[in-house]
Amino acid sequence: MKKPYQILFTTFICIFTCGLAFGQDGKTAALLVEEGIKLHDEGKYSESIEKYKEALKADPENQNAKYEMAYTYFSSGKVKEAIPILEKIIKFGTGDRGGAYDLLGSAYDDEGQPQKAIDTYLAGVKNSPDYQRLYFNLGITYNRLNKYAEAEKWAIESIKRQPEHASSHRLLGEVVLKQNRQIQAILAYSNFLLLEPQTERAGVTFKTLQDLLKKGVTKTGDKSITVTISENQLKPGSGTEQLMLSTSAASIVGKGLPPVEELTELLTTIYNISGELAAKKSNDFFSKFYTEYFYKLAQSGNMPAFARFISLSAYGDENRQWFKDNEAKLNAFSQWAQITKRSTE
């Protein structure tokens, strides 16, 4: 299920030539739409629909009422009712209709028509190139089709337009992991947790991050560590990322550190390794947006506060107490994050 949509197209109301459009009780169409939105937000979908219908009786061309009606149908599970309304908005509407394209694409996707969803999103990109959710939902649909390279492309485009959109980083981490690029997945998941550290899905993502950092490494005793390496990882050019992760993790896990301190060392090691490798040969989005940033973080002295912050879903009480006891370190990390620039080119 996609997140809520925000309408971005312009509503034209005939004010000067026709006067204001009023409903049966004297309310303007715009006011009726506002009341419908309030009812929608309260979960009163049927009552909300009736408000939009009344608004459209007063002003049959009110694009806002049409869109909100479609959104309410979609939100209440009546996707088939939403589709024809959105198709008409796109066909006959004017101006920026990014929200309508996005919602229609989502409706097609939910109805098991992924290619129509993709075609709609792409048309939306042409109409509203700055509408970030079109790019994100393209990534979602391609991921569902197991077309991970395409999903990666659109997730990146989504991040370029809205770097603070946590779900795009999570999606990117998922699709690069499915392409066996573990280090890049660690970077994307790290960014997601920086933006969204305490939600239910943050807990799931943090567990995935932990598993990646220690994959193939098992502590078998107080001073014993087992590193499992598959035959494929020993072949030239195969499994090199996982081999690097496993060997790096083994020396750290063997120290028997407390969980968050261990996390701090594991992440610092990976960020340093990825930064040093990227400095030699890479100039792509991952290197410029993720690797450079986390490499700078690893060198900044702020890793303890960062590790505490992104692991709040797992060690909430302990980490909040640490923040109280180390307020200066938390403030230093916050200031560093505010002034450190990132490239989305």
Instruction: Give the Cα separation of 158 and 138 in Å (integer).
Output: 9
Residue range 276-280: average pLDDT? 77
**Domain limits at 303?**
208-345
Task: Note whether 302 and 332 are within 8 A (CB).
Answer: yes
Residue range 309-336: average pLDDT? 98
Residue 229: the pLDDT is 47
Percent of the chain at pLDDT above 70? 83
Residue 281: the pLDDT is 65
- Any idea what the Cα angle at residue 206 is, between residues 203 and 211, rounded to 5°? 130
Is a pLDDT exceeding 90 seen at residue 124?
A: yes
Q: Which of 128, 157, 176 is the last residue of a domain?
A: 128
Please give the tally of structural domains in the chain.
Answer: 2
Residue 1, both tokens: 């299920």
- Whole-angstrom CA distances from 71 to 29, 37, 109, 126, 156 are 17, 10, 15, 22, 27
- How confident is the model over 218-250, as pLDDT tens digits? 666 555 555 454 544 444 444 566 667 767 777
Residue 9: the pLDDT is 34
Residue 22, both tokens: 């009023």
Whether 257 is covered by a domain: the verdict is yes
Which position has the token pair 């739409």?
Answer: 33
Whether 249 is covered by a domain: the verdict is yes
Task: Note whether 72 and 52 are within 8 A (CB).
Answer: yes
Is a pLDDT exceeding 90 seen at residue 129?
A: yes
- Mean predicted lDDT score pLDDT of the chain: 87
Is a pLDDT exceeding 60 seen at residue 23?
A: no
- How confident is the model over 156-172, as pLDDT tens digits? 999 999 999 999 999 99
Whether 191 is covered by a domain: the verdict is no
- How confident is the model over 69-108, as pLDDT tens digits? 999 999 999 999 999 999 999 999 887 899 999 999 999 9
One domain for residues 244 and 340: yes
Instruction: Give the Cα separation of 83 and 113 in Å (integer).
Output: 12
Q: How many CB atoms are closer than 10 A to CB 258?
A: 10
How far from each other are the two terminal CA atoms of the chain, in whole angstroms? 30
Q: Which of 108, 128, 148 is the last residue of a domain?
A: 128
Residue 278: the pLDDT is 79
Residue range 30-37: average pLDDT? 96
Residue 2: the pLDDT is 44
Whether 290 is covered by a domain: the verdict is yes
- How confident is the model over 143-152, as pLDDT tens digits? 999 999 999 9
Is a pLDDT exceeding 70 seen at residue 16?
A: no
Residue 240: the pLDDT is 63
Whether 163 is covered by a domain: the verdict is no
Q: Which residues are registered as beta bridge partners of 221?
A: 224
Q: Which of 128, 145, 164 is the last residue of a domain?
A: 128
pLDDT greater at residue 298 or residue 26: 298
Task: Note whether 185 and 177 are within 8 A (CB).
Answer: yes
Instruction: Give the Cα separation of 93 and 33 in Å (integer).
Output: 18
Residue range 305-310: average pLDDT? 99
Please compute, for residue 233, the number of CA atoms within 13 A of its CA located in the half-sphere on the CB side: 15
- How confident is the model over 5-15, as pLDDT tens digits? 433 333 333 33
CATH number at residue 11: 1.25.40.10
Residue range 260-285: average pLDDT? 88
Whether 52 is covered by a domain: the verdict is yes
Instruction: Give the Cα separation of 189 and 186 in Å (integer).
Output: 5
Residue 90: the pLDDT is 95
Residue range 125-146: average pLDDT? 98
Whether 343 is covered by a domain: the verdict is yes
Reduce the secondary structure of 228-279 to three states and give it as a string. Answer: CCCHHHHCCCCCHHHHHHHHHHHHHHCCCCCHHHHHHHHHHHHHHHHHHHHH
Residue range 135-142: average pLDDT? 99
Whether 298 is covered by a domain: the verdict is yes
Query: 6: exposed, middle or buried (C-beta count within 10 Å: 0-12, 13-18, 19+)?
Result: exposed
Which position has the token pair 């979602």?
Answer: 140
